[in-house]
Structure 1
Amino acid sequence: MNDRKRKAKDLPFTNGNGAHILKKNNSEVSFGQPVVEEEDLLSDGISSTQESNSGGTGEQSWSADHLAKKLKEIGLSEVAQKFKEHNISGAVLDMITEEQLTTMGIDKIGDRLEVLKFIRGISEEHKRKVFNDPVHGHTEIHPLCVKIIDTPQFQRLRYLKQLGACYFVYPGAGHNRFEHCIGVCHLAGQLARTLKKRQPELDITNKDVLCVEIAGLCHDLGHGPFSHLFDGKFIPTVRPELKWKHEDASVKMFDYLIEENELRKEFERFGLTEQDITFVKEQIAGPVKKNKNEKLLQGVTEEWPYQGREEKKGFLYEVIVYKIITTK
């Protein structure tokens, strides 16, 4: 049998009966700020409308027939037929690579590029926003992250000095937690997407990347005045009996931010579930059962303490909670 003509049973994202073994929720991930509108990325007749024929959220709910119909609408009738033959639905759309398209028998490079452009296009439901970051230059931000940034709880970070009282001695050390968190969001997402691209065997999804970005964006929500001076000196002096950590306060502020600004429906809109929100919070402050976390770090137990992601994706926690990106 020609490898290019293999049926669904031979594809890496289906089982022997052609049924999908991985159901992924999509959400395009990027970074930035509500200052400059990016040009429409969905040009050349590719629609940005995310219809659902099954009552689900976005393209991940599309059936194989519905996806084939969408491909026909943009002039890819032959490709649509191949997708239908292999029973490809929206549930695995974000896992498809150019190599897999070739395996499906889509021989024309132009068709493959159009399919990949289409996949990216339907994931970008809204125009992204652009930040002119003082360190990283122009960075784009996901619409859900923009919703978080545009809340009073996040805007307060503009008034919290990143380096505490250092600016009294070093006039150039006047930057704040607001710009720091946007930078962490950018770098965390960049790292996660690079891993997704270079190591597809890790099964990193767009939802995973978005959750890592949100955790980077919100990891310092709970800081007090003068940042670490507050939890390192002020709290121990005025409330020595209180074991207060800004990470725990960040999780509480994150919960408050979601409820106060009615953002839960926005999370659902981009396919994020309660488990994903738990994943974000665990990236900020570690697992709920901290004693298990301590034992885990000491190599005493093999029990996985996190609830947001299974152990095989445990490396994602190292980006924020173990401070690969955030530093102080």
Structure 2
Amino acid sequence: MRTPQVEADPTLPPEITIYEVGARDGLQNEKSVVPADVKAEFIRRMAAAGLSTIETTSFVNPQWVPQLADASEVLELLGDEGRGPKRPVLVPNERGLDRALEAGVGAVAIFGSATETFARKNLNRTVDESIEMFRPVVARAHDADLWVRGYVSMCFGDPWEGPVPVEQVVDVCARLMDLGCDQLSLGDTIGVATSGHVARLLDALGDRGIGVERIGVHFHDTYGQALSNTLVALRRGVTVVDSSAGGLGGCPYAESATGNLATEDLVWAMRGAGVETGVDLEKLLETSAWMARQLGRPSPSAVVRALTPAASSD
């Protein structure tokens, strides 16, 4: 298998953590329901490829996201492999947390919005109301010794409101972290971020006391900027990057949100730069090609298409 020539980039961290979202964010917008056993096998294969942190599913109302109605079944199929602090699940509210606790998970994530319109469309609440809804979720999760991540969507632009002021994003991020979240994920939900915007937001968060050691970045590749924006974040000191095996993904509440940064594209770039990810690229390619066959369409990942041509034609 072809691999990139390694030329170490001293401006990047020596290693990064990939926060894999393919099983949840990657599949949530698929129109055809993926069987629970296929989802569980997808997670097992990703873990075998060296992805240590995998967000497995979401305990969202099935009417909102039918694709994830089988959350409990998927975790039951995974058994102990689906539990622990490296297998977070998304919970929208206390009801979702109840189901997650019943399933024995070790980590949860909450999903807020930097804009009022998306908060209304995604959570049927204002930003203020959603933060208050999350307050008991985070408190109860910590009481149960769970690790908690806070997502903030629409950090770089909103399809209804347009540009989102950096100060507005920072304020929502700070309020979410003040609830007690262990990590913050900055979401470029519609893929409109550019390098200078990323740098400015990270600097503004630092000025507010939210250091890069507590931040992950979550870029969508709508305009082909996900990898370049990731490199900007890494050079600012971020070491946690959200990505999706095969480049799967989208948002059911924002039609302009296309796929996430492909994990293979990220791993290829990091390998060439001498940055350790812990991922076996060949095994990951096999996994994404396999999932592309399950979905009956080509993989969006450039690296998957380049190195496994069958995944481009199945």
- Please give the range of the TM-score, normalised by the shorter of the 2 chains: under 0.3
Using structure 1 for the length normalisation, give the TM-score.
Answer: 0.26
Q: Which has the higher contact order (CA 8 A, sep 6+)?
A: 2
More strand by share: 2
Using structure 2 for the length normalisation, give the TM-score.
Answer: 0.26
